[in-house]
Amino acid sequence: MIPPAFDYVRPHTVEEAVRALADGGEDAKVLAGGQSLLPLMRLRMAFPQLLVDTGRIPGLRGSRMEGDTLVVGAMTTHHDVLRDALVRRHAGLLAAATATVADPAVRHRGTLGG
């Protein structure tokens, strides 16, 4: 099925994404990997008026240390979490658990943040 019409924005910063979501209210949804939302839209079980694509916002992908804290960006794919040396070193259980998520195709598209 073809989903109903919707608006689409691709913000360049977290601030732009937050503003777009606030402006869109309850009818705005974040588009991350698209693994869950897009099939629901095709089946006409979800009807967002605005999709906010966070896929290319710098800083939301990958991992880094901030002091003693490991920070993993919400747009980091399951595959990247599994291969990330910082995650394996500081959060080995997270890396191990990520290996059990669905199949390789899903792990390459699905994001840690949903």
Task: Domains for the chain: give ranges and CATH numbers.
Answer: 7-53 (3.30.43.10), 63-109 (no CATH)
Please give the helix or strand (H or E) that residue 71 lies within, else none.
strand 69-72
Average pLDDT over all residues of the chain: 94
pLDDT of residue 9: 98
Residues 24-48: tens digit of each pLDDT: 999 999 999 888 999 999 999 999 9
DSSP bridge pairs for 111: 77
pLDDT of residue 33: 82
pTM of the predicted structure, to 2 decimals: 0.84
Q: How far, CA to CA in Å, does 28 sit from each of 80, 100, 107?
A: 27, 31, 25
